[in-house]
Amino acid sequence: MTQNPSPLLELQNISIVPKKAADRLLVNNVSFSIEAGKTTCVVGESGSGKSLTALSVMGLLSKQLQLISGKVLFNHAGQVQDLTTLDAESLRKIRGHKIGMIFQEPMTSLNPVLTVGYQIGESLTTHLGLKGERLKTKIASLLEMVGIPPSRANSYPDELSGGQRQRVMIAMSIACEPLLLIADEPTTALDVTVQAQILKLLDELKTRMNMGMLFITHDFGVVADIADNVVVMFRGEIVESGTKTQVLNNPQHPYTQALLACVPDAEGKKPLKPIDYAWLPENQTPAGVIA
């Protein structure tokens, strides 16, 4: 009998509370996994706990918050390690090396006074010790990989378009060939055409590098484009998960059905049908959902 190999990343029973309000579960018992070479999309409306879940993987929760339960099992270098048990120094070695990250706002994550080439090179020097010509060559090949002319290495972030800055962020995040890429709404600030290009690029890189991807979005259109597996979050909890086909074609939970009913059709029209929240406890209507 062949043994079922461990997934690349497995979150087990993650719960997060504010330190000052320990009974307020911002993330409640969240479990899911990511396979190498596959994308798991975490989808849900704003405030549902998606970003906190991602930050907990990297040990980057703010000091006001506390992880009160859970494991983050990361399968690398032939062993499975619980990242929640690592000290700050060990986590720093994994971040930006084995696990890459990209966020929504490239302008706030890029340093305006350093060239993009320098910024792409930083993690290559820190984690892999690359210097001189080898470093230059690697930076050029990374820029090429994300579709930016290598001559742009000497440009500053404000000399690039929004889409190019996000490409630079992608180059930085994949520089050390991470096993896992965490992307938190990386295309939300971009216009639709550029968003489609960036999604295509991430999908290609995932396949080429056999990376696992944790992709966070509030947009089911993006899920349809990029997901292999889908986790639907609502108010800090997973209400449904499965393969993309299962969740998009045959949603089981009323919340998923309601969100999917809001996705514009091919002509960009939203159906007029209001969301039915009758399934919610005490019949509360969640704020922020387009009904």
Ligand X SMILES: Nc1ncnc2c1ncn2[C@@H]1O[C@H](COP(=O)(O)OP(=O)(O)O)[C@@H](O)[C@H]1O
Which of 50, 71, 95, 127 touches ligand X (CB under 6 A)? 50
Q: Which is nearer to ligand X, 49 or 212 (CB)?
A: 49
CA distance readout (Å), 125 to 136, 149, 153, 176: 11, 22, 16, 10
Q: Which is nearer to Mg ion, 55 or 175 (CB)?
A: 55
CA distance readout (Å), 173 to 6, 90, 177, 188: 24, 18, 8, 18
d(CA 181, CA 38): 10
Q: Which is nearer to ligand X, 140 or 183 (CB)?
A: 183
Q: Which of 1, 41, 62, 84 is nearest to 218 (CA)?
A: 41
Q: Which is nearer to ligand X, 43 or 135 (CB)?
A: 43
- Asked if residue 104 binds ligand X (CB under 6 A), the reply is no
The distance of closest approach from Cβ of residue 58 to Mg ion in the complex, given in angstroms and rounded to an integer, is: 14
Dihedral (Cα; 185, 191, 193, 197), 10-degree rounding: -30
Q: Which are the contacts of 208, defined by CB distance < 8 A and separation ≥ 6? A: none
- Asked if residue 22 binds ligand X (CB under 6 A), the reply is no
- Asked if residue 62 binds ligand X (CB under 6 A), the reply is yes
Please tell me whether residue 70 adopts helix, strand or coil conformation.
Answer: strand
Which of 51, 56, 123, 164 touches Mg ion (CB under 5 A)? 51
- Asked if residue 48 binds Mg ion (CB under 5 A), the reply is no
The pattern of x and - marking residues 155 through 184 that bind ligand X according to CB under 6 A reads: ------------------------------
The residues of the shown chain that bind ligand X, judged by CB under 6 A, are 18, 26, 44, 46-52, 62, 64-65
